[in-house]
Amino acid sequence: MPNTVPACPQCGLENTYPDASNYVCPDCAFEWPQVADSADTDSADAGDGVVRDANGNPLADGDAVILVKDLKVKGSSSSLKKGTKIKSIRLVDGADGHNVDCKTDLGSMLLKSEFLKKA
């Protein structure tokens, strides 16, 4: 069975298991859709220009999101904690994959959609 279930894309550990239509990592609690493994889905996701969250759900301007991982903030000793809810995001075409503009307790910043899930 370990040969058919992929390692977790977030933490890299191989202690993952299938659950309904998702894979689940019990170590970091990350979930991702099983259908993302097919080449058809990957090419469609890459070319359609839709910004997707950590679970593959499409995001839109004004959505509320929740952080799925603690994030260190560059230039600050503070960090954004897992589970923090961020309201009213704005999608942008940022550098290095930072495609979500938002306001947090630490100020305005750009985040990668792969560290967010739709609330």
pLDDT in tens, 94-106: 778 889 999 998 8
CATH number of the domain at 103, please.
2.30.30.40
Please report which confidence band the pLDDT of residue 3 belongs to, taking 50, 70 and 90 as the band edges. Answer: low
- Quote the pLDDT of residue 44: 46
Q: Which amino acid does the sequence have at 63?
A: D
In a domain? residue 55: no
Tell me phi and psi for residue 51, to 5 degrees: -85, 130
In a domain? residue 57: no
Give yes or no for residue 49 having a pLDDT over 80. no
Pair (73, 44) in one structural domain: no
In a domain? residue 17: yes
Pair (13, 40) in one structural domain: yes
In a domain? residue 70: yes
In a domain? residue 54: no
Pair (74, 106) in one structural domain: yes
- What are the tokens at 117? 């899930």
Other C-beta atoms closer than 10 Å to the C-beta of 32 total 20
In 3-state terms, what secondary structure has residue 71?
strand
Which strand ranges, in their side-by-side order, compose the sheet holding 17-19? 17-19, 22-24, 31-33
- Quote the pLDDT of residue 46: 52
- Does the predicted model carry a pTM greater than 0.75? no
Total domain count, the chain = 2
- Containing structural domain, residue 30: 1-48
Please report which confidence band the pLDDT of residue 76 belongs to, taking 50, 70 and 90 as the band edges. Answer: confident
Average pLDDT over residues 41-47: 48
In a domain? residue 56: no
